[in-house]
Amino acid sequence: MPGRSGTDVANPRLFRRLALASDLSSGHFCTLSQTHTPRAENETAMPRALHKKTVEAPVEASSEGTGARGDNKAGRETRLNPLDAAWLLTESRATANHVGGLLTFALPPDAPPDFLRRLMHEFRRHRHFAPPWNRRLKYPSFTLNPVPVWVEDDDIDLEYHMRHAALPFPGGERELGELIGRLHSTPLDLARPPWECTLIEGLEGGRFAMYTKMHHSLIDGISGVKLLQRAMSTERDKSEATAPFWESAAEGRRSEAEGGPRKRASGATPTIASALDVAAEALRGQMRSVPQLAAAFAKIVGRIGQPGEGLQVPFDSPRSVLNGRVRDKRRFATAQFELARLRTLASAAGGTINDVVLSLCGGALRRFLIDREALPDQTLTAGIPVSVRPKDDEGTGNAISFIVSTLGTDLDDPVQRLRAIQASVQHAKAHVQGLPRAAMLQYTMLLMAPTILTLLTGIGGRTRPMFNITISNVPGPQAPLYWRGAELLAIYPVSIVTHGQALNITCHSYNGRMFFGFTGCHASLPSLQKLALHAEAAVQELEAAFLPTPEAAAPAAEKAKPPRKRPAARKAAAKKSVPAPAPTRKRRIA
């Protein structure tokens, strides 16, 4: 039959169902993000798109094109993973599923006053688009397959997608954060390729900014920022000739290229036989991992109601102002720290940078909630995407899972707070690392299933949260980057909030600094900028606890020297500082 592109099967409906079941059983999990649909909060969400991971297959790619707008040619279609598609069902006007990034630059030394206007004019003439920037959603027949697919669209209106804004000069961090909060509150048009980019001028200090947001079904925020970085150069002169970011194609995910049912599903001929083969193999993998999954969840259930240090279990979190219903407007705040400063703290505390990040977030949240007289007696908990290596994985790639950790907000002492976080993270990582790779994927999917169900059913924010806040730490390049002669100064992630999760903290390291993006619900978290200020206070608190001051370090250094090399005057001073028993013993010996 013409136009089927390899999908000629006796029962196409059965094939689609088997293919969806195959994807679901393969255990690929994706995290939530943010996109707005102009729709009332309680309206039922229509299926739109999915999230990060997709399975590429020739799904009814018509040779005549889909022609949703104009006479544009439609490229191959990309079938969405059903788990990704579930995120579209959670969309409402109050809970949008787009993520973004705020990048600030220093203007080139010889930049004319109309530098950004010229840049916009030039970029809008570039008409070549590479995936994922040229993908838009197509909705097949609901009776045959309600899950949408991506189609490649060459008819892209750059005047819509590429925008120009300005702050009243001189624009500071506060004014920039307010603008980003407003831009992040605006829905994406899912009838178009779901991304927007805004160039912002008027910043103080000879700077400008670029804010890009994209639907999480198209690409996750961190991968999107990495795509933007690929359009830059490590040399200023070479960056003058770089093409716009939408001409850079996304590289295939390494994890999807390394065998497994997902690889075979995307490369196999889409017939009933191949679909059954993939589904059967995935089912066999699930059955083999059942004992490990049962043991893992039995350990979680056994920890419920047991106080003290150890494994932090999901849904053992207090209700707080961070975990109610959210509205459609967003707030955004930023903070940044020297990476060397955090490394020094981690070394002194005998931990990792991630431990320090969680500790400073816990300390900042404690201060923020005390100011609002809303600090729960029980500690807040954080959901953390982590890189773990399963016990049966001998490869070099990273494995990603999800853990829950305490934040120690019930502890006033920063040392005790950090130690509690270290113990909690170690127990959680050991719990996940004890699983083989196949079981870990299923474990992560099952662990997050209740949260997804609360969003799908509309009860999110009305029940006890699985955890109180999501905190992510993403490493980035440590060499300076340039874009059209402008040096990249900072990268701030802009993430999502949902019902039951009114605050998200994501940090990104770049060029020797750690940049924090605080994204919150406008109604639930007034004065969000104070949280960023409390983060600095929390770091100073940790430094006072773990790092000796110069005044305290001098006596310690003198005490470490051999006594015979100390001058007499210094010996006399040392005798005065000796505890009482020591001089008593000397008199008896004399």
Q: Who has greater pLDDT, 219 or 61?
A: 219
Q: What is the SS3 assignment for 211-247?
A: EEEEECCCCCHHHHHHHHHHCCECCHHHHCCCCCHHH
Residue 509, helix vs strand vs coil? strand
Nearest to 53 by CA among 482, 386, 400: 400
pLDDT of residue 455: 75
The CA-atom distances, in angstroms, between 217 and each of 68, 84, 253 are 19, 7, 15
Query: What single letter denotes the amino acid at residue 68?
Result: A
572 pLDDT band, cuts 50/70/90, is: very low
In whole angstroms, give the CA distance from residue 181 to residue 197: 14
> Which neighbouring-strand residues pair with 402?
385
Rounded CA-CA distance 396/340 in Å is: 27
What would the mean pLDDT of 573-584 be, rounded to a whole number? 46
Express each pLDDT in 13-46 by its tens digit.
333 333 333 443 343 333 333 333 334 444 434 4
**pTM recorded for the entire structure:** 0.73
Contacts of 69 (CB under 8 A, 6+ apart): 153, 155, 191
User: Could you identify the residue written with the tokens 């059954």?
Assistant: 276
3-state secondary structure 3-52: CCCCCCCCCHHHHHHHHHHHHHHCCCCCCCCECCCCCCCCCCCCCCCCCC
Enumerate residues 6+ apart whose C-beta is below 8 A from 291.
none
Q: Please name the residues in contact with 162: beta carbons below 8 A apart, sequence gap of 6 or more.
A: 120, 123, 124, 197, 199
**Token output for 355:** 């431990």
With a cut of 50, say whether residue 84 has pLDDT above it. Answer: yes
**Between these two residues, 338 and 93, which has the higher pLDDT value?**
338
Distance from CA of residue 358 to its chain's centroid? 14
For helices 550-560 and 568-577, give the axis angle rounded to 10 degrees. Answer: 110
Task: Decide if 166 contacts 173 (C-beta within 8 A).
Answer: no
Report residue 589 as tokens. 């010996």
pLDDT class of 116 with cuts at 50, 70, 90: very high
| pLDDT at residue 16, as a whole number | 39
The contacts of residue 491 (CB under 8 Å, 6+ apart) are 101, 102, 103, 225, 476, 508, 510, 515
Percentage, residues of the chain above pLDDT 70: 62
* Inter-residue contact 48 to 40 (CB < 8 Å): no
pLDDT at 583: 46
Torsion angle of the four alpha carbons 282, 288, 294, 296, in this order, in degrees rounded to the nearest 10: -90
Query: What is the average pLDDT across 533-556?
Result: 79
Q: What is the mean pLDDT of residues 572-581?
A: 46
Mean pLDDT of 130-136: 90
Distance separating alpha carbons of residues 54 and 338, to the nearest angstrom: 37
pLDDT for res 169: 86
CA–CA gap between residue 60 and residue 51 (Å, rounded)? 21
Nearest Cα residue to 505 out of 537, 478, 539, 528: 528
Tell me the one-letter amino acid at 103.
L
Catalogue all structural domains in the chain, each as residue range(s) with its CATH number.
31-251 (3.30.559), 329-546 (3.30.559.30)
User: Tell me: the pLDDT tens digits for 284-293?
Assistant: 455 455 555 4
Residue 230: predicted pLDDT: 87
Nearest one of 244, 303, 210, 1 to 122, comparing CA atoms: 244
| Triad 316, 94, 400: Cα angle to 5° | 50
Residue 215 annotated as catalytic? no
**CB–CB of 429/386 below 8 Å?**
yes
In sequence order, the 6+-apart residues with CB closer than 8 A to the CB of 444 are: 27, 29, 401, 402
What mean pLDDT comes out for the span 46-52?
Answer: 37
Q: What tokens were used for 213?
A: 């947001």
Q: How many CB atoms lie under 10 A from the CB of residue 114?
A: 11
The reported pLDDT for the residue numbered 311 is 59
Is the CB of residue 167 less than 8 Å from the CB of residue 176?
Answer: yes
Share of the chain above pLDDT 90, in %: 43
Report d(CA 222, CA 506) in Å as an integer. Answer: 10
> Mean per-residue pLDDT for 523-545?
95
Q: What is the predicted pLDDT for the residue at 12?
A: 36
What are the backbone angles phi and psi of residue 205, rounded to the nearest 5°? 75, 25
pLDDT of res. 392 = 47
Amino acid at 104: T
d(CA 115, CA 171): 17
The 10s digit of each residue's pLDDT in 149-193 is: 889 988 899 999 999 999 998 899 999 999 999 999 998 998 999
Per the prediction, the chain carries an average pLDDT of 74
| CA dihedral of 212, 217, 221, 225, whole degrees rounded to 10 | -60
Q: Is 78 within 8 Å of 122 (Cβ atoms)?
A: no
- Strand 162-171 with 195-203, pairing: parallel
**Rounded distance, CA 207 to CA 237, Å?**
19
What is the per-residue pLDDT across 339-352, written as a single tens digit (0 to 9) for each? 999 999 999 999 99
Most confidently modeled range among 118-132, 198-212, 389-403: 198-212
**Residue 278, beta-bridge partner list:** none
- Nearest residue to 300 via CA among 404, 422, 438: 404
Is pLDDT of 148 > 50?
yes
Of the pLDDT bands very low, low, confident and very high (cuts 50, 70, 90), residue 439 is: low
Residues 6+ apart with CB under 8 A from 251: none
**92-101, 373-382, 439-448 — which is least confidently predicted?**
439-448
Could you read off the pLDDT of 235-264 as tens digits, one per residue?
Answer: 999 999 888 999 876 554 333 333 343 333
CB-CB contact of 433 with 389 (8 Å): yes
CA nearest to 105, candidates 201, 19, 176: 201
Tell me the C-alpha distance between 181 and 526, whole Å: 12
pLDDT at residue 562, rounded to an integer: 43
The reported pLDDT for the residue numbered 509 is 94
**Annotated catalytic residue, options 216, 499, 522, 534:** 216
290 vs 489 pLDDT, higher one: 489
Give dist(CA 418, CA 359) in Å, integer.
Answer: 5
d(CA 441, CA 448): 11
Of 157, 115, 109, the residue nearest 133 (C-alpha): 157
- pLDDT above 60: residue 535: yes
Q: How confident is the model at residue 475 (pLDDT cuts 50, 70, 90)?
A: confident
d(CA 502, CA 470): 10
Looking at per-residue pLDDT, the higher value among 282 and 440 belongs to 440
Predicted local confidence at residue 238, as pLDDT: 93
Which carries the bigger pLDDT value, residue 131 or residue 37? Answer: 131
Give me the mean pLDDT over the 455-467 stretch: 83
284 Cβ contact partners less than 8 Å away, ≥ 6 residues apart: none
**Helix (H, G, I), strand (E, B), or coil: what is residue 333?**
strand
Beta-bridge partner residues of 266: none
pLDDT beyond 90 at 216: no
